[in-house]
């Protein structure tokens, strides 16, 4: 198989090149060895760092997996790339896949434990920590995960004692220094936290957690110019991670420098006119600042310059839908469908039209469009979800669950599929399985309100108003002014007989004009 590939690519290449290729082939006696070579090349590129090297590393890991799909450390390599690029849901998915192939992969256990801990999933983080310590009890990283868990549970003394034990053996362990800095920050000793972070950065200048602690400390100390400079340094050191640009924007907005924030976004977009994501960041900012009307004007201005940019058209259609102007949204989507044909954009538009038809109760027309999409792309997520929605509407719950599980095998990050599977399990009378899916969807969405509200509604239906109240209060604390969450909060408190709490929530709703 590999010989055929070499000759087909070589064509009329000189004999010396063919000989070199054959010698390389002779050195690799099995597909596993070829895959391992791709993995090792990927790791070498990853360790060099930089946006281009990270992208090349990603390609090498994928090449390894094309040859051997079960190569756990290549999947773990994809998790490292996703972490570097700030793609936490993808990282979480790859870590789970790594552990699916190799449950004894200590590094993956530690990283997934850290992610779960940062998401507040303490019990699940503890499970990962226990597994890592069982596999490698003397591993400093495993010990530091346990120390972080102790700190999260309020055992500062235990956490510090274990951290000092690690530092006694490995004085330059930046995970240990990070924990000490974080503990000081939590205790309100900001100057000490800054000193700890700076000492760690002398060892590992590019450490994202230590840089983040340093920025927080500088901001708490009121050294805003230094904090801004530190964020810009973070962006320069990690250009592959767009989250840091977002951190700068949030910093500027929080210090009432909205014009500077907008200028930053426009400067990023101006560097690369083909970067539609950067344009959409401007739209999101304008929407938050000036409301939907301002965002619509911004999108229409962009489309005047790029009339064939379907990504911008989809964004405008979504905005129009949110503004309750479905006719205008549907007209725009149908125009994409008419022009884009069977391209990816055309199928996406066709699926959206099918959704409109389904909303209108025209199941026959919706089914026809979904079937047309699946004839071109039998794994199309949107079309499959439309078909499953109709199966659920017909109360064929077992079939819907089977179809949704198959869909999630191909699209493990499909949030809509998770929500539908949760609904199906609830209809089936298995609320624990329903809750698993709804929690997973909420976490994978990075705590997006729509998924949190779906989970809160489920908890209320399950007569668990206290849990719903806690969840909704956390959501509102993270995103104040969330009227749908406030309305559910009022219901959760009403279900518990907390009438003062109901009045408080309703007062806030009235203040917000909801």
What is the tens place of the pLDDT at every residue in 32-72?
889 899 999 999 999 988 888 999 999 999 999 999 999 99
- Mean pLDDT within 132-138: 95
Residues 327 and 281 in one domain: yes
Number of compact structural domains in the chain = 2
Q: What is the pLDDT of residues 139-191, one digit of tens each?
A: 999 999 999 999 999 999 999 999 999 999 999 999 999 999 999 999 999 99
CA 189 to CA 148: how far, in whole Å?
18
Domain annotation covers residue 282: yes
User: Would you state the pLDDT for residue 514?
Assistant: 63
User: Would you state the pLDDT for residue 241?
Assistant: 77
Domain annotation covers residue 371: yes
Residues 281 and 326 in one domain: yes
Is the pLDDT assigned to residue 17 strictly greater than 80?
Answer: no
User: Would you state the pLDDT for residue 120?
Assistant: 76
User: Would you state the pLDDT for residue 1?
Assistant: 37
User: Would you state the pLDDT for residue 481?
Assistant: 78
Is the pLDDT assigned to residue 340 strictly greater than 70?
Answer: yes
Which domain covers residue 379, as residue numbers?
341-394
- Mean pLDDT within 325-350: 94
6 pLDDT band, cuts 50/70/90, is very low
Domain annotation covers residue 448: no
CA dihedral for 72, 87, 113, 144, sign (positive or negative): positive
Domain end among 302, 333, 364: 333
User: Would you state the pLDDT for residue 105?
Assistant: 95
User: Would you state the pLDDT for residue 457?
Assistant: 96
User: Would you state the pLDDT for residue 20?
Assistant: 47
Residues 329 and 345 in one domain: no
Residues 289 and 328 in one domain: yes
User: Would you state the pLDDT for residue 322?
Assistant: 86
Domain annotation covers residue 248: no
Tell me the DSSP string of 226-255: HHHHHHHHHHHH-TT-THHHHHHHHHHHHT
Instruction: Please give the mean pLDDT across all residues of the chain.
Output: 88
User: Would you state the pLDDT for residue 290?
Assistant: 86
Domain end among 285, 305, 333: 333
Domain annotation covers residue 204: no
Angle between helices 51-67 and 72-84 (to 10 degrees): 160
Is the pLDDT assigned to residue 240 strictly greater than 60?
Answer: yes
Tell me the DSSP string of 202-213: HH-TT-HHHHHH
Domain end among 333, 354, 371: 333
CA 191 to CA 180: how far, in whole Å?
12
Domain annotation covers residue 288: yes
**Greatest Cα pair distance in the chain:** 86
pTM of the predicted structure, to 2 decimals: 0.60
Is the pLDDT assigned to residue 423 strictly greater than 70?
Answer: yes
Residues 277 and 322 in one domain: yes
User: Would you state the pLDDT for residue 239?
Assistant: 79
- Mean pLDDT within 390-408: 90
Looking at per-residue confidence, does 443 or 315 come out higher?
315
Neighbours of 450 (CB within 10 A): 12
Domain annotation covers residue 285: yes
How far, in Å, are 67, 269, 288, 341, 478 from residue 449 at the CA level? Answer: 40, 27, 15, 34, 10
Domain annotation covers residue 437: no
Residues 290 and 312 in one domain: yes
Is the pLDDT assigned to residue 11 strictly greater than 60?
Answer: no
Residue with tokens 């190569």: 71
Looking at per-residue confidence, does 196 or 24 come out higher?
196
Residues 277 and 329 in one domain: yes
């Amino acid at each position: 198989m590999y010989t055929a590939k070499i000759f087909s690519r070589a064509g009329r290449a000189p004999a010396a090149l063919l000989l070199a290729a054959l010698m390389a082939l002779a050195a690799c006696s099995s597909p596993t060895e070829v895959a391992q070579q791709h993995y090792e090349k990927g790791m070498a590129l990853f360790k060099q760092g930089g946006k281009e090297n990270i992208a090349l590393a990603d390609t090498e890991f994928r090449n390894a997996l094309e040859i051997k799909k079960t190569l756990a450390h290549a999947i773990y390599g994809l998790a490292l790339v996703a972490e570097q690029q700030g793609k936490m849901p993808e990282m979480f998915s790859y870590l789970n896949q790594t552990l699916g192939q190799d449950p004894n992969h200590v590094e993956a256990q530690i990283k997934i434990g850290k992610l779960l801990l940062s998401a507040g999933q303490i019990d699940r983080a503890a499970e990962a920590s226990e597994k890592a310590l069982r596999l490698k009890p003397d591993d400093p990283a495993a010990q530091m995960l346990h120390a972080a868990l102790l700190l999260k549970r309020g055992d500062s003394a235990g956490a510090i004692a274990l951290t000092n034990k690690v530092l006694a053996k490995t004085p330059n362990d930046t995970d240990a220094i990070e924990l000490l800095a974080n503990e000081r920050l939590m205790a309100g000793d900001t100057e000490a936290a800054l000193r700890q972070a700076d000492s760690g950065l002398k060892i590992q200048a590019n450490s994202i957690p230590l840089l983040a602690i340093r920025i927080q400390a500088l901001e708490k100390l009121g050294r805003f110019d230094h904090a801004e400079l530190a964020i810009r340094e973070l962006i320069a050191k990690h250009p592959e991670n767009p989250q840091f640009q977002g951190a700068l924007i949030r910093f500027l907005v929080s210090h009432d420098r909205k014009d500077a924030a907008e200028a930053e976004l426009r400067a990023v977009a101006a560097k690369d006119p083909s970067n539609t994501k950067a344009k959409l960041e401007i739209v999101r900012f304008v929407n938050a600042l000036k409301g939907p009307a301002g965002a619509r004007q911004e999108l229409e201005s962009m489309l005047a310059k790029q009339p064939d940019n379907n990504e911008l058209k989809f964004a405008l259609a979504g905005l129009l839908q949110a503004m309750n102007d479905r006719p205008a949204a549907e007209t725009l989507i149908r125009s994409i469908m008419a022009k884009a044909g069977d391209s990816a954009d055309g199928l996406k538009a066709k699926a959206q039209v099918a959704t409109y038809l389904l909303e209108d109760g025209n199941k026959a027309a919706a089914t026809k469009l979904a079937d047309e999409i699946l004839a071109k792309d039998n794994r199309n997520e949107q079309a499959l979800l439309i078909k499953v929605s109709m199966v659920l509407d017909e109360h064929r719950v077992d079939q819907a669950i089977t179809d949704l599980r198959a869909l999630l095998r191909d699209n493990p990050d499909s949030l809509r599929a998770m929500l539908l599977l949760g609904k199906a399990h609830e209809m089936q009378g298995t609320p624990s399985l329903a809750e698993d899916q709804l929690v997973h969807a909420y976490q994978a969405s990075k705590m997006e309100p729509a998924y949190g509200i779906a989970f809160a509604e489920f908890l209320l239906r399950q007569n668990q108003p206290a849990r719903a109240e806690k969840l909704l209060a956390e959501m509102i604390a993270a995103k104040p002014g969330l009227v749908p969450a406030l309305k559910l909060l009022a219901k959760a408190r009403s279900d518990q007989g907390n009438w003062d709490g109901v009045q408080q929530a309703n007062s806030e709703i009235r203040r917000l004009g909801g």
